[in-house]
Homo-oligomer: A and B are copies of this chain.
Amino acid sequence: MPTVERTCRTDAGLASELRVAVMRLRRRLVAERDPGNPLSIGATAVLGVLFRNGDTGVGELAASERVQPPSMTRTVNALAAGGYVERRPHPEDGRQVVVRLTEQGRATLLADRARRDAWLARGLAELSPEERDVLRRAAPILDRLAHHD
């Protein structure tokens, strides 16, 4: 059922097929994560940002995930309730809240990293080296697309 091989020649066709492929792949990614993993895929992404960038404000987290602030507040609430992050007051600006990865959050993130991408990595392993190389180059482009104005 090669719905995607078809109209990829034109740019409009590329947009259309890319959209369908991204929608389907993300649906699988959400469905296929480890059932024992207590973290949702969105919460996991936030832990990843904190791990890479260190302490971060709620608004900044929202911007980095292209989400509205209330959505990020809810995600941070869930993470804080689980002990994965903690809220601290900003030292200078009383309006801001600094979100910090706890030791438990860091440990959970590291321990789950390998497992989390198991399904996708298994799929990647079945590709040819050339195909993996295409995806390696495509990933940053997709991310830039997601952030363009």
Contact = CB atoms under 8 A, between A and B. Distances in A.
Interface in A93-149: 113-114, 116-117, 120-121, 123-127, 131-132, 134-143, 145-148
B12 A113 contact: yes
A145 B16 contact: no
Interface residues of A, number: 63
Contact of A16 (B67, B117, B134): B117
A80 interface: no
B148 A123 contact: yes
27 contacts: A1-B147, A2-B140, A4-B139, A8-B139, A8-B140, A11-B121, A14-B124, A16-B116, A17-B139, A17-B143, A18-B142, A20-B45, A20-B48, A21-B139, A21-B140, A22-B22, A22-B26, A22-B142, A23-B26, A24-B146, A25-B143, A27-B67, A27-B146, A28-B146, A120-B145, A123-B148, A135-B138
